[in-house]
Amino acid sequence: MLLLVSPIDVEEAKEAIEGGADIIDVKNPKEGSLGANFPWVIREVRKITPKSLLVSATVGDVPYKPGTVSLAALGAGMSGADYIKVGLYGVKNYNQAVELMKSVVKAVKDFDDNKIVVAAGYADAYRVGAVDPLVIPKIARDSGADVAMLDTAIKDGKTLFDFLSKEILEEFVSEVHDYGLKCALAGTIKKDHIPILKEIGTDIVGVRGAACKGGDRNKGRIDRNLVRELKELC
């Protein structure tokens, strides 16, 4: 299982790299759960990250605007992101989501066919009116994305498992694999969740708080030792 870690600056990114993270994830929490960061920040993180590691970047908790979002996805790819994550926030159903993700896939793959496109939904989608998390696998499949992902939309301490049971998540992973895609899971993941995620076959696990001193995603800083401990569990 690959470990994706979300630093908030270059210094934290270095800790994550030292700790053995597989994917360095550039987000901007000020703009939401999957908030986009600026082109110059993505470029900087790509610069300090070894070639062997992947950089992921999100284009935001996006509205249902395929034009705007596909331009942003292109901008993220061009800034050096290998993984391009789209938070399906303002799309309300399968049809809208597939339409939007198809545009993103075309915009990104036209630019560089090796980029990996991630369709990300929210386990607590009902709290924000977004498309249901259980529909994400079909959306990823039918839009040509590479990875189906879940996170939580509202960061209030509740975790992925507060919204979806282990059984339902296991079905989710299995459905994604049936479609020949990879599966990424995140959402205030604690250390204790990692063996469960591994057991059910998750391909990529995303963390931030669990890699921070004191387990606090806001006040703590990413620590290489904590990253290493998490990586060992993957």
Active site residues: 27, 85
Of the candidates 191, 141, 136, 140, the one whose C-alpha atom is nearest the C-alpha of residue 164 is 136
Residue in 21, 54, 76, 230 binding its own copies, rule: CB under 8 A: 76
The site string for its own copies over 109-148 (x = CB under 8 A, - otherwise) reads -xx-------------xx--x-xx-xx--x----------
Residue with tokens 């904590």: 226
# residues contacting its own copies (CB under 8 A): 50
Of the pair 38, 190, the CB lying nearest its own copies is at: 38
Tokens of 32: 């939401």
Tokens of 209: 């708080």
The length of the chain in residues reads 234
Residue in 95, 174, 218, 225 binding its own copies, rule: CB under 8 A: 95
Q: Which residues contact 11 (CB under 8 A, 6 or more apart)?
A: none
Of the pair 19, 66, the CB lying nearest its own copies is at: 66
Q: Which stretch binds its own copies (CB under 8 A): 93-101, 143-151, 197-205, 222-230?
A: 93-101
Which uninterrupted H or E stretch holds 11? Answer: helix 10-19
DSSP assignment letter at 125: G
Instruction: Quote the CA–CA distance of 114 and 95 in Å, as a whole number.
Output: 26
Q: Which of residues 187-216 bind its own copies (CB under 8 A)?
A: none
Q: Which residues contact 234 (CB under 8 A, 6 or more apart)?
A: 1, 2, 3, 194, 198, 205
Supply the minimum distance, in Å, between the C-beta of residue 94 and its own copies: 6
Of the pair 95, 225, the CB lying nearest its own copies is at: 95
Of the pair 78, 196, the CB lying nearest its own copies is at: 78
Supply the minimum distance, in Å, between the C-beta of residue 29 and its own copies: 10
Instruction: Quote the CA–CA distance of 189 and 209 in Å, as a whole number.
Output: 8
Supply the minimum distance, in Å, between the C-beta of residue 81 and its own copies: 10
Q: Answer yes or no whether residue 70 interacts with its own copies by CB under 8 A.
A: yes
Tokens of 55: 């950089």
Sign of CA dihedral 183, 189, 195, 196: negative
Q: Answer yes or no whether residue 62 interacts with its own copies by CB under 8 A.
A: yes
Q: Which stretch binds its own copies (CB under 8 A): 48-56, 74-82, 188-196, 220-228?
A: 74-82
Tokens of 47: 């610069």
Sign of CA dihedral 170, 135, 209, 229: positive
* Contact yes or no for 134/103 (Cβ under 8 A): no
Residue ranges binding its own copies (CB under 8 A): 28, 30-32, 35-40, 59-60, 62-63, 65-76, 78-79, 92-96, 103, 106-107, 110-111, 125-126, 129, 131-132, 134-135, 138, 163-164, 168, 171
